[in-house]
Amino acid sequence: MSIDYSFKIISVGSSAVGKTSLIRRFTEDTFEETYIETLGVDFAVKRVHLQDCNVELKLFDTAGEEKFGTLRPYYYRGAQGAIIVFDLTRRRTFDRVNEWLKHVYINCGTISSILVGNKTDLSDREISTIEAEKYASSKSLPYIEASAKTGDHVERMFTYLANHILKVENSQQ
């Protein structure tokens, strides 16, 4: 398949929120039960067909650990989209979303972004859908809840973001 567009998308958020799992579910349709810390950055590619175009999504999975903070800006460069992920079962990951948004804006400017509440499959939620939607709305961000484990809304999340980037690209031509 020939590629009409190639988009770089970064995934950011606190450690262990499921960034890697969301990307693996989307690109490989797999889920790993055991947590493996991302060291620096991980990378995956998926080709999709959107709006009569073949689009290559280059997905950069950045480490959420503080010790990798100085490396992150290098991986942000040239990104056209960002997925900001938090864990619905850990309030402190939601409380840090504003920091992650600032990192994206400082290093990438205004790019297509989406806020994702991950781990809908777990029952011990600390953040309600209404609270997350209200926050996302205050930042003019679309919001989707997903589960990397079950796959619920994972493809929808990536497709939504890719379509938004494509719309921005087409409006600039």
Encode pLDDT of 155-164 as tens digits: 999 999 999 9
Which residue segments constitute the domains of the chain, with CATH numbers given? 5-171 (3.40.50.300)
Residue with tokens 């100085």: 70
> What mean pLDDT is reported for the chain?
89
Residue 67 has pLDDT above 70, yes or no: no
pLDDT tens-digit profile of 96-136? Answer: 999 999 989 999 999 999 999 999 999 999 999 999 999 99
Helix (H) or strand (E) holding 99: helix 97-108
Q: Is 85 within 8 Å of 19 (Cβ atoms)?
A: yes
Mean pLDDT over residues 24-37, rounded? 79
Q: Under DSSP, is residue 76 helix (H, G, I), strand (E, B) or coil?
A: helix
Q: Is 118 within 8 Å of 150 (Cβ atoms)?
A: no
Q: At what angle do helices 19-28 and 154-171 cross, to 10 degrees?
A: 90
HSE-CB of 121 using CA atoms within 13 angstroms: 11
What one-character DSSP code corresponds to residue 100? H
Q: Under DSSP, is residue 46 helix (H, G, I), strand (E, B) or coil?
A: strand
